[in-house]
Amino acid sequence: MLSQTLYKLFQRDLNTLYREIESYQSESSLWIIKGGINNSGGNLALHIIGNLRTYVGKNLGNVDYVRNREAEFSAKNIPKQTVLTMIREMTDIILTTLSQLSEERLAKIHEEEVLSYEMTTEYFLVHLHGHLTYHTGQINYHRRLFYSQN
């Protein structure tokens, strides 16, 4: 039952992420960093992609991926369409992986101690969903904050 819930929540919120990036009116506004804003919408999207492709796609779905976390925050001026394609590809990987996870697998202790304490796979997936929505909210704010400036 939880696997179906996680699938639906990730599907909904990955689609929200896509729409947020799609809603940027210009390529340049996606990459603005100014004042106290340290991460652009584009960099936050790259971070979400790297995070989910690593912890869900690679670690749970055995999909080959090499993460470059530093580049998630330092890359600039990647075309918006490229970021959108990356989000669609990542969404397919995440949803395929989630659809294949059994309730037994979700209840098992997660192999990697990512958060400095032991947790089940379902706990970690709920954490990752929260991470997704947190950063998607930041992207929404970033887009609206800089909308009129470009």
Query: Does pLDDT of 149 surpass 60?
Result: no
Distant-in-sequence contacts of 122-125, Cβ < 8 A, 24+ apart: 122/2, 122/6, 124/55, 125/6, 125/56, 125/98
The 10s digit of each residue's pLDDT in 101-119 is 999 999 999 988 899 999 9
Is 1.20.120.450 the CATH classification of the domain at 2-149?
yes
Helix, strand or coil for residue 67?
Answer: coil
Query: Does pLDDT of 8 surpass 60?
Result: yes
Query: Does pLDDT of 147 surpass 80?
Result: no
Q: Is 136 in contact with 49 (CB distance < 8 Å)?
A: no
